[in-house]
Structure 1
Amino acid sequence: MENLARVTPATALVLEALLSADSVWGLQIVKHVGKKPGTVYPILDRLEVAGWIQGEWGSTQDRKGPRRRYYRLLAEARPLAQDYVNTHRAKIRTSATRPSPATFEGKWQGA
């Protein structure tokens, strides 16, 4: 398993979705995360190449429609994934408590 070079907020959201289920298919992750497929699927590819997740195609005999690709977070990646998710949540809480630059606009403009 390789370390991730960078973990974006979107990556943390994908990891959170993977932590919440044993096996989840790609479009479920897209819906859970609220990002576009063009954002989520490259993240899944990077995680799979890095050895964090395992993906496998579902059987088309089980259902009608196109095959689904199911993703599973590997056991050895779970603790690191949880750390990334916790760090991401902490950053969100920290940025939510900081005043926005707009709060100081009037003060800086001599108001």
Structure 2
Amino acid sequence: MQPLQRVTAPTVDVLTAMLGGTEPIWGLRIVKESGRPSGTVYPILDRLERQGWIRSTWEELGSRESPPRRLYEFTDEGEAAAREIRDAFLAKHRG
């Protein structure tokens, strides 16, 4: 897993949205929960995946009639690092 070169508020918002659950989360839900536009969120997700922080899979076809969604989840190392970065960023920007 590669370290993040630059931690921005949008990146922290994406990490926070992903840390909010225990199940894989699809991109549109991350967009909604982070409050960031898709043009910001998807490049962040791509970068996090390339750097080994998250992995993605396509949802298996099931009872939903709509197209499958791409699901994102943290790697074990990525989740721990995301919590550290989020907490440090929030502590720095609160006061």
Deviation digits for residues 76-111 of structure 1 (CA, Å, limit 9, x no counterpart): 1122111111122123312xxxxxxxxxxxxxxxxx
Name 2:10's counterpart in structure 1: 10
| Residues 1:51 and 2:52 aligned together | yes
| Residues 1:86 and 2:87 aligned together | yes
Q: Identity rate of aligned residues, in percent? A: 45
- Output the CA distance in 1 between the equivalents of 2:92 and 2:30: 22
Runs (5+) with no aligned partner, structure 1: 95-111
TM-score of the superposed pair, with normalisation by structure 2: 0.90
> Aligned-pair distance for 1:27?
0.4
- More displaced stretch, 82-91 vs 48-57: 82-91
The residue correspondences of 1:1-111 to structure 2 (distance < 5 A) are 1-21=1-21, 22-94=23-95
Structure showing greater radius of gyration is 1
1:7 partner amino acid: V
State the SS of the aligned residue for 2:17: helix
> Aligned-pair distance for 1:34?
0.3
Query: What's the C-alpha RMSD, in Å, of the aligned pairs?
Result: 1.2
- Output the CA distance in 1 between the equivalents of 2:55 and 2:63: 20
1:16 partner amino acid: T
- Output the CA distance in 2 between the equivalents of 1:70 and 1:92: 30
- Output the CA distance in 1 between the equivalents of 2:31 and 2:11: 12
